[in-house]
Amino acid sequence: MPYSNPDVLKHVENGKYYYVEHSDYDNTNVYGEVNQSDVQSIIDSNKAIIEYEYFYLKKWEIELNLEDFYATVFEYEQKVKKLTSFEEIYNFSKEEIHVNINRKFISYINSARIYIDHMDARLKHKYGQNSIQYMKFESAKRYCYDTYFSYRFFNQLRNYAEHSDSPITQIVLSGEPEKDGKLKKGSTSVYFEFDKKKLLEDAGIRKKLLVDMKRRNDFFPILPQVEEFKKPIKYLIDMLLIIEKEYYLLNCKTIEDFYNSRKQGGAPEITKFIFGPTKQTLIYSSTNIRLDLVKKIDKELSKLK
């Protein structure tokens, strides 16, 4: 991109890299040349911590999808509480509830599954299938599969939602009647349940979860499973960070050491200057020094034991 500042020309040579700080939008200061080795080191470390940022944002996506699901449950609980007669219950749109509760639920379990699959693929590609790092993550997945019904169940429900039907089909509205036939104020409620018989019509669920499903009632509630599912997801996210903690912190240190040896107080970057058609114009490409992510990673990883 073009940059016009005649003073910069006094400090730079064509095609070389320099440590630069910006004190404001129009004020750029050059503080010395940077060798190619240091440039590549910062590029590699930036890539590592930006990868961390990706996983951080995906984790946030899972949390937001869960919040959306709970908000939808709460929304319909509040709407149903306002119903005052069996006629209103009968006429209340179950189709609307069905669509919204399923789409929020599917978004949640989908985002969680995508996160886990991406973590798995990344570790396998980076370290190899027989590496200690990958085997540790595989062991964590096996632990979650063996320990939590919700983990096994939701894994299958994702496939069920993709190939068969909506996973949540039992939506029950009820209320306590008064002597006059009306409903007792505030007694109306809505329950969301899984239909065991319907789910077992799916070959994949029968094959993977028949023993589990035999232990469940014909209709069993959704919310306890959603609550339990938070545990294996947190466990796997923490495990990824434990496996990669040293890698992320080492790259943070590379960036911090580079910056601390040169810092002047402005916003830092490494810039390669190339003279344009006139001596008063520069074309430059910059590599940001991501101190913002370094601080975030240091804070987040310090919480891990």
Give the mean model confidence (pLDDT) for residues 264-283.
Answer: 74
Q: Is the pLDDT of residue 273 over 70?
A: yes
Give the mean model confidence (pLDDT) for residues 51-58.
Answer: 89
> Per the structure, how many domains does the chain have?
2
Q: Is 136 contained in some domain? A: yes
d(CA 37, CA 244): 24
Q: Which two tokens stand for residue 116?
A: 């886990």
Residue 20 structural domain: 2-33+263-301
- pLDDT, one tens digit per residue, over 60-87 is 999 999 999 999 999 999 888 888 888 8
- pLDDT, one tens digit per residue, over 141-171 is 999 999 999 999 999 999 999 888 999 999 8
Q: Is 254 contained in some domain? A: no
Clarify whether residues 113 and 178 are in a common domain.
Answer: yes
| Main-chain dihedrals φ then ψ at residue 90, nearest 5 degrees | -65, -40
At which of 214, 243, 272 does a domain end? 243
Clarify whether residues 136 and 67 are in a common domain.
Answer: yes
Clarify whether residues 150 and 284 are in a common domain.
Answer: no
Q: Which residue has the tokens 């239909």?
A: 195
Clarify whether residues 210 and 278 are in a common domain.
Answer: no
Q: Is 62 contained in some domain? A: yes
- Cα–Cα distances (Å) from 299 to 142, 238, 249, 293, 303, in that order, read 29, 14, 11, 10, 7
Clarify whether residues 168 and 221 are in a common domain.
Answer: yes
Clarify whether residues 175 and 281 are in a common domain.
Answer: no
Give the mean model confidence (pLDDT) for residues 228-233.
Answer: 97
Q: Is the pLDDT of residue 12 over 80?
A: no
Clarify whether residues 127 and 270 are in a common domain.
Answer: no
Q: Is 41 contained in some domain? A: no
pLDDT band at 10 (very low <50, low <70, confident <90, very high): low
Q: Is 68 contained in some domain? A: yes
Query: What b/e readout covers 51-89, taking b as 16+ CB neighbours within 10 angstroms?
Result: bbeebbebbebbeebbebbeebbeebeeebeebbebebb
Clarify whether residues 277 and 162 are in a common domain.
Answer: no
Selected residue with higher pLDDT from 281 and 83: 83
Task: Please report, rounded to a whole number, the percentage of residues in the chain having pLDDT higher than 70.
Answer: 92
CA 253 to chain centre: 25
d(CA 241, CA 239): 5
Give the mean model confidence (pLDDT) for residues 125-141.
Answer: 95
Q: How many CB atoms lie within 10 A of CB 203?
A: 10
Q: Is 40 contained in some domain? A: no
Reported as half-sphere exposure (CB side, CA atoms, 13 A), residue 20 has a value of: 23
What pLDDT was estimated at residue 291? Answer: 85
- The answer to whether the CB of 1 falls within 8 A of the CB of 284 is yes
What pLDDT was estimated at residue 3? Answer: 46
Clarify whether residues 114 and 77 are in a common domain.
Answer: yes
What pLDDT was estimated at residue 266? Answer: 79
Q: Is the pLDDT of residue 23 over 80?
A: no
Clarify whether residues 101 and 217 are in a common domain.
Answer: yes
Q: Is the pLDDT of residue 102 over 70?
A: yes
DSSP conformation letters of 274-293:
EE-SSTT-EEEEEEE--HHH
Clarify whether residues 226 and 278 are in a common domain.
Answer: no
Question: In what helix (H) or strand (E) does residue 95 lie, and over which residues does it extend?
Answer: helix 94-127
- The answer to whether the CB of 175 falls within 8 A of the CB of 83 is yes
